[in-house]
Amino acid sequence: MRIHSRYNQFVLSAVLGASLLLSTACTHGFAPTPKPDGTQKSIENGAQKFIEAANARLSPLGVRAARAEWVKANFITADTEMIAAEAYENYLIESVEFAKQASQFDGLELAASTRRQLEILKRAITMPAPADRALTQELTQIATRMDSNYGKAQYCPEGVDGDDCLDIIEIRAIHTESRDPDALLDVWVGWRTTSPAIRDDYRRFVELTNQGAVELGYPDTGALWRSNYDMSPDAFATEVDRLWAQVLPLYQSLHCYVRAKLSEFYGEDRVPLDAPIPAHLLGNMWAQQWSNIYDLVAPEGADPGYDLTVLLEEAGYGPLKLVESGENFFSSLGFDPLPESFWERSLFTKPRDREVVCHASAWDVDDGDDLRIKMCIEVNAEDFRTIHHELGHNYYQRAYKEQPYIFRGSANDGFHEAIGDAIALSVTPAYLVELGLLDREPPPSKDIGLLLRDALDKVAFLPFGLLVDRWRWGVFAGEISSDEYNAGWWALREKYQGIRPPNERTEDLFDPGAKYHIPGNTPYSRYFLAHILQFQFHRAMCKIAGYQGPLNRCTIYGSEEAGRRLNEMLEMGMSRPWPDALEALTGERELDATAIRDYFAPLQVWLNEQNAGRTCGW
């Protein structure tokens, strides 16, 4: 099972499904590797046997952990937490043990596939556990507790309790709709009263995983995470910086324009023109995507004149129909329909009578056909896109299921996050016309409005996508100590995003913990990469589909040729270094932000005009 979230590749995955690495070979029937007698053949055989044992052992353990995790995430109770923690612990112990044993083959000459599987075993663990069993148990219990705390979190405004308390779905609706700064401030602060409860857990979590990482031969957990990109950890950090430098001018222009518009609306005392933007006014709890405030910043005369949320509501779409239409897109590319079990076992709406983790995820519970999503769907444009995102995970999982277990994952984790998003870039006006949701396409004169709406999500996200792991890398490396978690977080939020907290944040709070991926221990650089990669995929698939014209108007809907090439990349799984996979679809071997810059090029010109005379920056 791989869940794309919490258990990574070897760790279960809610995006994911299951997988880990195994423990003492002897107790689990794996014959210890014969001491290489010096011949190449015996070395090859030994390594081959080891890999076979790892594949055979980790897959069922991962599936078991995934099932337990699925039940827990769909029905949070003390018992399901315990069961999930135990199953995860078993998987983790063995994963870590296999990772350690893989080192015995270091420096030996081996077939490329064997060598790659060994390397993946050593580096693809997102929650490295110490060898000490008691510590592993403590770690998995902390991880499960943090995840559940997030799933159960509610903000109860003064005088309100019980059913009237607000969960993240209800709070999200307030961020989407309300333009009352006091109401926004109230829920912004309120949601962050739910995370101090896990601050101590997180501190201990950092200690324990760091110990596990050191035992695996890495300086700390952050270095282990950064080692998973077919380059050195330092080279990866440099690569992220390089990409960020490529997109920074675009972000700065967007920030400048949005700040000016918010200042016009809320007043200069609330939104000063020379300071970071208050984080509660951007239409999103974490200020990570801003399209919910499109109405406040829409360009005069260039507004496309439709709101996808309204179109979906008017056409009577419900959660199921949204998912079906996502499936229909993939079918138009030539992918097989989703299995019946997907429809029977997925969670599409928030249950009224029990606690669930609502943060959207995609699962491959049995490492094969048991695909599912778990999502508390609301009928709106944001969730329509998220459904494509989640289904992208599921189609990827199914495409690589014939690979050996260790290769069942995406080329790098950014690829997994980019597939569905790349498809959602094809949700253009032309596609909406095709679906019968829109009567006719807006004329080219409305492109700036369309591009601005996209940029509020895709460009605004970039610095957030980057900083979440800058914070964690700093925490794991000890550069941000446990008594400056919040200060370190807000320093990065200001530096990269140009936003500031709307009230004083002190160290008894734990604002990073109010974002799912911190308690869920899901690495976040993947989303930054995905926001670069999805535009490369989109540009390439549009070309393959024979499209000519502005990229923001391109839909690959119905192009079986684009689907075929996409599938060629997906079915490779992790079997080749990611540049090979990228090349299979795009002909390119590098991460390249020119694709996102090309997409938004007309908007960049327009923003420059709008910002003329303004002082930008913070």
Q: Is 4 in the site for ligand X8Z (CB under 6 A)?
A: yes
Q: Among residues 199 and 531, whose Cβ is nearest to Zn ion?
A: 531
Structure tokens that stand for 141 in this block: 């219990």
Which CB atom, from 4 or from 57, has the smaller least distance to Zn ion? 4
Is there a catalytic annotation at residue 531? Answer: no
Say if CB 416 and CB 410 are below 8 A apart.
Answer: yes
Q: Min. distance of Cβ 527 from ligand X8Z in angstroms? A: 4
Of the candidates 175, 280, 359, 538, the residue annotated as catalytic is 359
Q: How far apart are the C-alpha atoms of 84 and 455, rounded to whole Å?
A: 39
Task: Give which of Zn ion, ligand X8Z, none residue 470 binds (C-beta under 5 to 8 Å, depending on kind).
Answer: none
Measured distance CA(326)–CA(329) in Å, rounded: 5
End-to-end Cα separation, the chain, in angstroms = 45
Nearest residue (CB) to ligand X8Z, 237 versus 357: 357
Site for ligand X8Z in 331-360 (CB under 6 A): 360
Q: Is 424 in the site for ligand X8Z (CB under 6 A)?
A: no
Answer yes or no: 388 catalytic.
no
Contact of residue 395 among ligand X8Z, Zn ion, none (CB under 5-8 Å per partner type): none
Residue 11, CB-side half-sphere exposure with 13 Å CA sphere? 26
Detail the DSSP E strand segments found in 494-614.
499-500
d(CA 464, CA 462): 5
Binding of residue 386 to ligand X8Z (CB under 6 A): yes
Q: What, of ligand X8Z, Zn ion, none, does residue 360 touch, CB below 5 to 8 Å by kind?
A: ligand X8Z
Of the candidates 29, 67, 27, 69, the residue with the CA atom closest to the CA atom of residue 49? 29
**Least distance between ligand X8Z and beta carbon 376 (Å):** 11
Beta carbon of residue 346, minimum distance to ligand X8Z (angstroms, whole number): 14
Nearer to ligand X8Z (CB atom), residue 462 or residue 581:
462
Name the residue nearer to ligand X8Z (CB basis): 360 or 540: 360
Choice between 168 and 591, CB closer to ligand X8Z:
168
Rounded-to-integer distance, Cα 70 and Cα 372, Å: 10
**Mask of contacts with Zn ion, 406-425, x by CB under 5 A?**
-----------x--------
Instruction: Tell me the two tokens of residue 236.
Output: 């990866």
Please confirm, yes or no, whether 255 is among the known catalytic residues: no
Nearer to Zn ion, 53 or 373 (CB): 373
Rounded least distance, CB 16 to Zn ion, Å: 9
Using rule CB under 6 A, residue 380 touches ligand X8Z = no
Query: Do residues 355 and 151 touch, judged by C-beta distance below 8 A?
Result: yes
Of 389, 416, 531, 538, which one is the catalytic site residue?
389
Among 361, 497, 534, 555, binds ligand X8Z (CB under 6 A): 361
Q: Which is nearer to ligand X8Z, 15 or 258 (CB)?
A: 15
Query: CB-side exposure of 67: number of CA atoms within 13 Å?
Result: 8
- Catalytic, 359? Answer yes
Following CA atoms 399, 401, 407, 408 in sequence, which dihedral angle do they give, to the nearest 10 degrees? Answer: 80
Residue 53 touches which of ligand X8Z, Zn ion, none (Cβ within 5-8 Å per kind)? none
Given the structure tokens 């053949």, which residue do they identify? 41
Rounded-to-integer distance, Cα 294 and Cα 560, Å = 34
Q: Please check whether residue 129 is in contact with residue 521, taking contact to mean a CB–CB distance below 8 angstroms.
A: no
Cβ nearer to ligand X8Z, comparing 4 with 401: 4
What is the rounded distance in angstroms from the CA atom of residue 81 to the CA atom of residue 357? Answer: 12
Binding mask 162-191 for ligand X8Z (x = CB under 6 A): ------------------------------
Site string for ligand X8Z, 75-114 (x = CB under 6 A): ----------------------------------------
Give the shortest CB-506-to-Zn ion separation in angstroms.
Answer: 32
Binding mask 367-406 for Zn ion (x = CB under 5 A): ----------------------------------------
A 10 A CB-CB count for 29 gives 9
- Of residues 255, 388, 393, 416, which has the active-site annotation? 393
Q: How far is the CB of 454 from ligand X8Z (least distance, A)?
A: 14
Residue from 485, 527, 537, 599 binding ligand X8Z (CB under 6 A): 527
Catalytic residue, chosen from 381, 390, 399, 593, is 390
Closest residue to ligand X8Z, Cβ-based? 360
- Residues 13-42 within binding reach of ligand X8Z (CB under 6 A): 15
Q: In a 3-state reduction of DSSP, which class is residue 613?
A: coil
Spell out the residues 6+ positions from residue 221 whose beta carbon is closer than 8 angstroms to its own.
Answer: 128, 206, 209, 210, 212, 213, 476
69, 416, 417, 557: which one is catalytic? 417
Q: CA-CA distance, 126 to 109, in Å (whole number)?
A: 27
Of the listed 175, 517, 531, 538, which one is catalytic? 517
Q: What is the dihedral of CA 494, 498, 502, 504, to 10 degrees?
A: 20
400: Cβ contacts below 8 Å, ≥ 6 apart: 407, 408, 409, 410, 570, 571, 572, 573, 574
* Nearest CA among 94, 119, 123 for reference residue 108: 119
- Name which of Zn ion, ligand X8Z, none residue 198 binds, using a CB cut-off of 5 to 8 Å depending on partner kind: none
SS (H, E, C) 424-476: HCCCCHHHHHHHCCCCCCCCHHHHHHHHHHHHHHHHHHHHHHHHHHHHHHHHH
What SS3 state is found at 195? coil
What letter would DSSP give residue 337? Answer: P
User: Which residues contribute to the site for ligand X8Z (CB under 6 A)?
Assistant: 4-5, 15, 360-361, 386, 389, 527
Residues known to be catalytic: 359-360, 389-390, 393, 417, 517, 527
Interface residues with Zn ion (CB under 5 A) are 417
